[in-house]
A and B are shown apart, each in its own frame.
Chain A
Amino acid sequence: METKGIYTVHEFTLAVKSILTTGILNDTWIRGEISNFTNHNSGHRYFTLKDKNSQLQCVMFKWYGKNLRFEPEHGMKVLVFGDLDVYEQKGVYQLKVRDIRPDGIGELYKAYEQLKNKLAMEGLFSPDYKKPLMRFPKKIGVATSPTGAVLHDMLTVLGRRYPVNILFIPTVVQGDSAAESIVKSILALNETDVDIIILGRGGGGIEDLWAFNEEVVARAIFNSRIPIISAVGHETDYTIADFVADIRAPTPSVAAEIAVPDRLELANHITRLWQRLIENQRRFISDRKSHLSDLEEDVEPCLFVERLTRHIQFIDDLTLRQELSIGRLIDIKKALLDANAGKLNAVSPLGTLSRGYGITLKLPGKTLVQSIEDVERSDEVSIIVRDGKIRCNVNDKEECKWK
């Protein structure tokens, strides 16, 4: 069995947190009743959301709370929007609340959830279908209301960041004809040469944004050939259009920022590229210069002579050492030879001759005569003595016992 080792409490809590906060339970609407509501001095709000069977700890940090259009209170039936989180110190899971709405329009949310699930099942929200945005669009299509701050805000941001051509199509974004108008605008812009479409609308209640939750709009966005940035309502308003769009921008101004790069940043980027070019070229040239001067030094005449002299000296040195060692070798060999010559002399027959003895050889083979058996009468022999040879014929032989 595989062992998992032993966790510390903190490690275990972190492991739990990593399982619970993968994002599956992010951006979730939950219906319930508020209890134990505390508006803390810090500006954060803490409460429990409960129904008949369960309770859920909730925290709403003050930066989200400032968009609240009402103050929640104990016993209020609400819809809460937020992400699942784990509060490590206490080891409890809780909802990080980003929006709270009164639960008077529950039916709209039901319809919203149903359509959202249906389209999700069909894969309309899949990242596989998200079209990438062009890095430097030349023309941007804007579909929004001709009145209101949205268009003005977007044009201001676009003009400041990166002036491009803008094709604006007046679009009804609220009321009964809104869905049809949005679909028409998307289709019309698809017939033009715009590189990106921004679909925008200011904030409002779920009823005001309803057109962006309709199926025809979702399908028009999905079928658009041109990538669409949705910028509907405030940061906490999630419409179906946001899920289908290629990119969701929390507000129309952010949509404009996403659509185009910033001219100043680009200018800085180009300046950095220019500096890298110059720096690189300078280094390239100076590397080659120093390499060249190294090579030059190598062929410089006086350095060359010096190196040559060094070589000559080295050779002289070698020669001397060689001569010395050979002389020593010869001395050793000579001493060895003298010693051996002395020994040889001691056993030499020449010694015998000098003491007055002769050596007899039988001719013509010059075999040594050591016995009377070695010669016959009238054989020719040669007797070697100290100062020469005597040639004789054998006249007679006689056996004697000398000892």
Chain B
Amino acid sequence: MEMSFEESLTELEGIVDKLEKGQLSLDESLMLFERGIKLVRECNTKLKSAQQKVEQLIVENGGCRTEKFEVD
């Protein structure tokens, strides 16, 4: 399943912290670095592609439905 922006960013922050604390083997460090760069790319893509979608919630006869809401 695709990670949400929040999950990606949280993981990225964790990786940077871990790398800065040091005490990793070269292999671990390279692996984390690669993962971090991938997460940076993902986060940026998600941030750029975010779109505002406005819907209206309509309550009727005890039920709910949503429809597109036109912003003037």
Task: Answer yes or no: A118 CB below 8 A from chain B CBs.
Answer: no
Nearest Cβ distance between residue A136 and chain B, in whole angstroms?
A: 4
Q: Which of the four size classes fits the interface of chain B? A: 35 or more
Task: Answer yes or no: A36 CB below 8 A from chain B CBs.
Answer: no
Residue of B nearest to A155 (CB): B71
Residue of B nearest to A162 (CB): B50
Task: Answer yes or no: B26 CB below 8 A from chain A CBs.
Answer: yes
Given A184-B59, A188-B57, A191-B64, the answer on whether A273 and B13 have CB atoms closer than 8 Å is yes
- CB contacts (< 8 Å) of B71 on chain A: these are 152, 155
Q: Which of the four size classes fits the interface of chain A? A: 35 or more
Given A136-B4, A138-B4, A284-B19, the answer on whether A188 and B64 have CB atoms closer than 8 Å is yes
Let me know if A167 and B55 touch, CB within 8 A. Answer: yes
Interface class of chain A by DSSP: helix
Q: Which of A18-26, A48-56, A262-270, A347-355 contacts B (4 or more CB under 8 A)?
A: A262-270
Let me know if B52 and A164 touch, CB within 8 A. Answer: yes
Given A188-B59, A192-B64, A281-B33, the answer on whether A270 and B43 have CB atoms closer than 8 Å is yes
**Which B residues, 29 to 72, have Cβ-Cβ distances below 8 Å to chain A?**
29-30, 33, 36-37, 40, 43-44, 47, 50-57, 59, 64, 66, 69, 71-72
CA gap between A229 and B49 in the complex, in Å: 26
Let me know if B47 and A168 touch, CB within 8 A. Answer: no
Q: B53 is contacted by which of A165, A170, A192, A277 (Cβ under 8 Å)?
A: A165
Given A165-B53, A166-B53, A276-B20, the answer on whether A270 and B69 have CB atoms closer than 8 Å is no
Let me know if B66 and A167 touch, CB within 8 A. Answer: yes
Nearest Cβ distance between residue B28 and chain A, in whole angstroms?
A: 10
Task: Answer yes or no: A313 CB below 8 A from chain B CBs.
Answer: no
Let me know if B59 and A277 touch, CB within 8 A. Answer: no
Nearest Cβ distance between residue B30 and chain A, in whole angstroms?
A: 8
Let me know if A277 and B33 touch, CB within 8 A. Answer: yes
Q: B56 is contacted by which of A158, A162, A169 (Cβ under 8 Å)?
A: A169
- CB contacts (< 8 Å) of A158 on chain B: these are 52
Let me know if A274 and B37 touch, CB within 8 A. Answer: yes
Closest 3 CB pairs of A and B: A163-B52, A136-B6, A169-B57
14 further interface pairs, Cβ-Cβ under 8 Å (given A163-B50, A263-B47): A152-B71, A166-B69, A167-B57, A167-B66, A168-B69, A170-B56, A189-B57, A263-B50, A267-B44, A270-B47, A273-B40, A277-B19, A280-B19, A281-B33
